[in-house]
Every structure is written in C-alpha cells, then in structure tokens.
C-alpha cells in the first residue's frame, strides 16, 4: 500500500542474462538493466542527492534504500523505502526531487538516462515500461497520502508493518517474521510521527497480542487478520 513499484516484483523480470539470441530486438528495460555491472554501496552512501542533475535509472539487487527530502525546519520526510527488484530514477525531471541513501549495504545496477533515452526512441516497449513504472508509483504515492493523512498513529503503524511484510524478500520458513533493518527514527520519519509515538504504539500492538518484538529489530506478526483490520481503518474502538 505504501509507495513502491510493486509491479517490479522478482518474478516479473529476468534476473539472468538476456536471451538475446532468441529475440534480439525487443530488449526490455529490465533486460538491459540485468546486463549492467553491479555496484555496491555501504550503509549511508547516497545514490544521489536532492537537486542533482546527473541521473541514472537504478535497480536494487540487494539491500534497502530510502528516498527522503529534508524540510526547512530540519526534519526529514522519508518518501519511500525501496527493496530488491524496485526501480528508481525513472522520472525525467531536470533535477532529482529527493535524495536516495543506502540504509543497509546495497547492490544495484544502473543505466545512464542518456542510454535510456536513446533506447526509448528505438523501442516502444521500453517506453511503456517506464510509463507503467511511473503510473504505478503515482498510484502508490497517492495511496500513501490517504494513509498518512487520515489514519491514527496505530493504524499507520499497522499499515506500515503490513506493507513491509508484503514487500520483504520472504524467508520461506519464518512466514510471519519480519527483520526491521530500520531504526525507529526511520519509521517515524516515514509515517510523520515522533519516535516516542512509534515506540508507544509498537508497545500497544504487542500488548494486544497483534505482534511480538522478540528483539528490537525483529518483529513477528501474531494476528494478521487484526493487523489488516487496523491498517484498513476498520476497527471502531481501541
């Protein structure tokens, strides 16, 4: 529900080599990305900063990236978290609207926008991939407005946890286990809350047996149905 290019799920693009021999012409953007060399970023390294003009299209292979914007008053609004498979930088504004920073160690591939533009003129399919990405991202961002603007702190948190869980690369065994690579500050800056409120409401969710927090950065979903109710704003009381 929260902003991300969901359509770029693992299954929707070939991670391996492009089978160029079979159909050499219609290479997709995902194909081309897969041919690019990998690059590594340490935690806190930036892919780009707000206002930068140089730009690439990136696809995250491993790790976690946050997109954020610094406000006048010094606070930070995190726009979205990006997971493996997610593409970023597909918009064509003159300058980057926000900054992108590695949260964990990150592996990614990138494609200079110039190259992308050249390919767009040759391959219409390439173009529609970008339009799809942008459309999806727009819908996700609008949806985020609804959550952030209308829901209580505990509902925001419920929605956030659900979203993380759905997007997280699943460990097959531990079905409802979630490894939070994020700090409470990250969560707060995304949801527009303070760390105290995040902490208090995590405690509430724990007291109500909806989640458990065996360690600070490990979260277990105990009652998925109730979490979904909360996230959808369908809980009248408490």
Partner DNA sequence: CGAACCATTGACCATGATCAATGATTGTGG
Partner DNA sequence: CCACAATCATTGATCATGGTCAATGGTTCG
- Give dist(CA 151, CA 10) in Å, integer: 30
Q: Which does 65 bind (CB under 5 to 8 A by kind): DNA, a second copy, none?
A: none
| Token code pair at residue 128 | 């529609």
Count how many residues are written for the chain: 238
DSSP code per residue over 50-82: TT----EEEEEEES-EEEEEE-TTS-EEEEEEE
- The count of residues interacting with DNA (CB under 7 A) is 22
Using the contact rule CB under 7 A, the part of the chain among 110-118, 140-148, 167-175, 200-208 near DNA is 200-208
Helical residues (DSSP H) of 171-212, grouped into ranges: 184-191, 195-207
Using the contact rule CB under 8 A, the part of the chain among 18-26, 37-45, 148-156, 173-181 near a second copy is 148-156
35 versus 203: smaller Cβ distance to DNA: 203
| Token code pair at residue 227 | 């979490």
Q: Under the criterion CB under 8 A, does residue 207 sit at the interface with a second copy?
A: no
Q: Under the criterion CB under 7 A, does residue 66 sit at the interface with DNA?
A: no
- Give dist(CA 77, CA 219) in Å, integer: 24
Interaction site with a second copy (CB under 8 A): 69, 71-73, 75, 77, 79, 91-93, 97-98, 120-121, 124, 127-128, 130-132, 134-139, 141-146, 148-150, 192, 232-234
């Amino acid at each position: 529900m929260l902003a991300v290019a969901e359509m770029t799920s693992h299954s929707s693009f070939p991670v391996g080599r492009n089978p160029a021999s079979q159909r050499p012409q219609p290479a997709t953007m995902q194909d081309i990305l897969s041919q690019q060399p990998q690059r590594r970023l340490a935690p806190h390294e930036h892919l780009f900063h707000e206002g930068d003009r140089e730009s690439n299209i990136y696809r995250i292979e491993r790790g976690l990236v946050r997109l954020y914007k610094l406000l006048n008053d010094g606070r930070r609004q995190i726009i979205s978290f990006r997971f493996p498979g997610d593409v970023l930088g597909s918009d064509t504004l003159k300058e980057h609207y926000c900054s992108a920073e590695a949260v964990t160690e990150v592996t990614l591939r990138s494609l200079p926008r110039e190259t992308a533009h050249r390919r767009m003129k040759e391959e219409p399919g390439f173009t529609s991939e970008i339009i799809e990405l942008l459309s999806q991202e727009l819908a996700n961002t609008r949806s985020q407005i609804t959550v952030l603007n209308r829901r209580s702190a505990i509902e925001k948190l419920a929605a956030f946890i659900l979203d993380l869980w759905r997007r997280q690369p699943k460990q097959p065994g531990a079905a409802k286990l979630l490894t939070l690579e994020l700090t409470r500050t990250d969560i707060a800056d995304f949801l527009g809350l303070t760390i105290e409120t995040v902490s208090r409401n995590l405690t509430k969710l724990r007291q109500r047996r909806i989640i458990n927090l065996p360690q600070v950065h490990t979260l277990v979903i105990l009652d998925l149905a109730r979490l979904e109710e909360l996230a959808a704003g369908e809980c009248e009381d408490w």
